Homo-oligomer: A and B are copies of this chain.
């Protein structure tokens, strides 16, 4: 079975058979995490790297006053923390959102991976896309109101899921509560509820039982000011 990382990296450039084999082989140590369990916590210094295989997780930080900010959503195929091996300890935590399957990749195997130019290139590319996503979030926070902001996040997640083949036509699972959305978007749960209502009323999308239904993607993208080019997706 090809795992999502392979799918993702293949879209970047052609990897040789040997590279593909290496990528397939690296998911030997697989562990499961229950919903809402931490995969790695701030301050830890693991000697391996985590790769999402199934399920969702998020990067987050808890402030002294107890408020929480999610800084990224990690989908199948995403590395959680290529940086730890380099920076030492984690400066944020990563928590599973639903039941998740995670590959643990040792430092040595990572080193081996990076020695393959094509793979190193692909990994670097992936981390640059992550960076572009962070910048897009900043624009989202800085210059869009709550309505546009929610719409933009949904557009982004939809595009990213499609890219790894995890979104149906106009529908996908979003394993989040409204509180999670508020933690990601810098709003309150109450306000998220109101925004979702408006999104429903304006017939752009609905969110019920952790399921997003896109009613009118054009309208939604227009409202969000969404331009997918920052994701640098294959298509």
Contact = CB atoms under 8 A, between A and B. Distances in A.
A6 B129 CA distance: 27
A155 to B, nearest CB: 15
A33 B202 CA distance: 47
Query: Which among A86, A88, A138 has the highest number of chain B CB atoms within 10 Å?
Result: A138
B232 A69 contact: no
Contacts of A88: 232
B143 A225 contact: no
A206 interface: no
A139 B69 CA distance: 6
A75 to B, nearest CB: 17
Nearest to A84: B128
Given A61-B139, A69-B142, A139-B61, A128 B86 contact: yes
Nearest to A182: B142
A138 B136 CA distance: 10
Interface in A91-133: 91-92, 121, 124-125, 127-132
Given A87-B125, A128-B86, A63 B143 contact: yes
Interface residues of A, number: 40
A230 B43 CA distance: 11
Contacts of A131: 83, 127, 130-131, 134
Interface in A66-95: 67-69, 71-72, 83, 86-88, 91-92
A143 B91 contact: no
B86 A121 contact: yes
Nearest to A83: B128
B141 A141 contact: yes
Contacts of A69: 138-139, 142-143
